[in-house]
Amino acid sequence: MVVTNKPNLSTRESLVIETTKDFTNDLNNLTQLQQKQVEAKLQRIEKAIETNNNDYLFKHLKKIPAINLSKYTSSLHLLKVNHDLRIFLFYEDDPIFNRQVMTLIKVCFTQDLNKVLKGLCESFYQENLNSLGEFDHER
């Protein structure tokens, strides 16, 4: 079962969207049409943020429940672009700087989700990873 946390847009002053090198490389490896689809999705997210449209983000941004860490809770989320494409991103509250941060990490095809998720967990969580379940991307 997918557990989702509704993002709370009302408590912070701003949201920062960070694009990583890996994300840009993945994007460049897609077809032109796929790139346009990803960019269109991100533009809709930006519009939702600017208009405080909480429901739109809640509908399209899903937390990944399969990651079990020893020290903290993972902030890794999945953004659905379309039936075939997903974006992995970190979505976090930053109270000291009064903002939220969304870090775009990877773009991948739906059939590669679990493989990419495993790689990301190994990179970012290393010895803090207790267990990693299979992620049901159909939900």
Partner 1 sequence: MRDKPLYDEYGVIREAWKILPPEFRDKFLEALAELEDNECHRQRSFPKTQLHRVTGSQEAVYRAYIDKISGWRLHIMYEDGAIHLKDIISPEKHDPVIEVIKSKKYRYQKSQVQDNNKKKSNKNKK
Chain residues binding partner 1 by CB under 8 A are 9-10, 12-22, 24, 46, 49-52, 69, 71-76, 90, 92-99, 101, 103, 105, 123-126
- Name which of 10 and 111 has its Cβ closer to partner 1: 10
Smallest distance, Å, CB 119 to partner 1? 12
Smallest distance, Å, CB 51 to partner 1? 7
Among 71, 86, 72, residue whose Cα is nearest residue 34:
86
- Name which of 81 and 105 has its Cβ closer to partner 1: 105
d(CA 128, CA 42): 31
Smallest distance, Å, CB 79 to partner 1? 16
| Local structure of 62: helix, strand or coil | strand
- Name which of 38 and 105 has its Cβ closer to partner 1: 105
- Token pair in block for residue 110: 């739906």
Only one residue has tokens 């020290």, namely: 71
The CA R_g of the chain, rounded to the nearest whole Å, is: 15
